[in-house]
Amino acid sequence: MTRVSENSTTLSIRHTLNKHKSKMEDLQMKGTTLKSMRKPSDNPAANIEALQISSVTKDNSQFKRNADFALLQLNITEKALENLTDILGKAKEIAIAQSSDIYNEDVRNNVANEVHQLRNLALSIANKRVGQRYIFSGFKTLDTPFNENGEYKGDNGHITLEVGKDFFVQVNLHGKEVFMAESETDSQVKHPLEKFPEMADSREKSKNREIMSDENNREIASAPISEDAGKYKESANIFGLLDSLAISLENNDPDQIQNLLEKFDTAVTRLVTLRTRVGSVASSVMANVNSIEANNIDNMERKSKLVDADVTELFSDITRQQEILKTAYKTSEGLLNKNLLDFLR
């Protein structure tokens, strides 16, 4: 029979008490934090998954901020296109009314002032900003895209934002695709002699002579056509159309006004197409935002199951552990408090 010494009994009792006290301390810490894990080693697999969920949630927060900015940019762009369409619609109404012979020169001169105001309003829309950044200047968002003459000073850059995992959207339109006809964009074939200045100069002079010859053969209206009229006569951009309409009104030329109607229809159709494109992008961004929010809710629920403690179960365990600890104290009380006199009795 193995002899058990008093020292080994005491060590065994102390070990048992310390084990119950340690478990009680762990439960109390979980009760304080309401977390099921105090350190990664408690549940490595769950901890790794929780960290991955936290990373995804953080990424989604940035995607949400990107989407909010994209929606702001797209909504302002769509509103600008809507206002621009209204301007062209008003200009077309003027052109239809003034293309008839019932109005005289004085009336058309007065209406020309209204067209000039529409042109100025179109220029203000072209130079619209979000904060300090212009929306129609391409990548040159800090530079004014159009000058007073309607010349485009921006570039053809399209800004894209990642509004979801590997989901990039274009959030801007550059000035050329909005205010210029397709033939005036970079897609047109450039003249092969543009890289040779000395030949380009001679080509420009020849072109000027042809223009002068055409003007001599053209019937002159009641008022002479200015240099700007020649500049915008064949232009298909929005500023050119409005300037051409104003000049035709000032020249009391109903035939030329009639010729502009088709160009106004083409410009309006282009703007409607762009508005449709912007609206479809905004709709896809909104759908992605809803998907991100739903994903965040699912991730929060999953993370809660991984790291959050079950309050009912936790406090039940604490109560049970308290009773176990009390029982251990009572059981060991008689042995731990014995001294030499107790053994000599």
Residue 278's CB is within 10 A of a number of other CB atoms, namely: 24
Residues 338, 345: Cα–Cα separation, whole Å: 12
Which amino acid, residue 185?
Answer: T
Residue 187, C-beta contacts closer than 8 angstroms, at least 6 positions apart: none
Residues 238, 178: Cα–Cα separation, whole Å: 9
Q: Are 153 and 147 in contact (CB under 8 A)?
A: yes
Q: Is 90 exceeded by the pLDDT of residue 178?
A: yes
Residues 318, 55: Cα–Cα separation, whole Å: 33
Residue that wins the pLDDT comparison between 323 and 163? 163
Q: Is 50 exceeded by the pLDDT of residue 200?
A: no
- Render pLDDT for 155-167 as a digit per residue (tens, 0 to 9): 999 999 999 999 9
Q: Is 180 exposed, middle or buried (0-12, 13-18, 19+ CB in 10 A)?
A: buried
CA dihedral angle for residue 26, residue 28, residue 32, residue 35, rounded to 10 degrees: 40
- Predicted structure pTM score: 0.68
Residues 58, 51: Cα–Cα separation, whole Å: 11
Q: Are 243 and 228 in contact (CB under 8 A)?
A: yes
Residue that wins the pLDDT comparison between 24 and 336? 24
Q: Is 80 exceeded by the pLDDT of residue 263?
A: yes
Residue that wins the pLDDT comparison between 311 and 49? 49
Architecture of the CATH domain 55-187+224-296? Up-down Bundle (1.20)
The C-alpha R_g of the chain, in whole angstroms, comes to: 40
> What mean pLDDT comes out for the span 284-303?
92
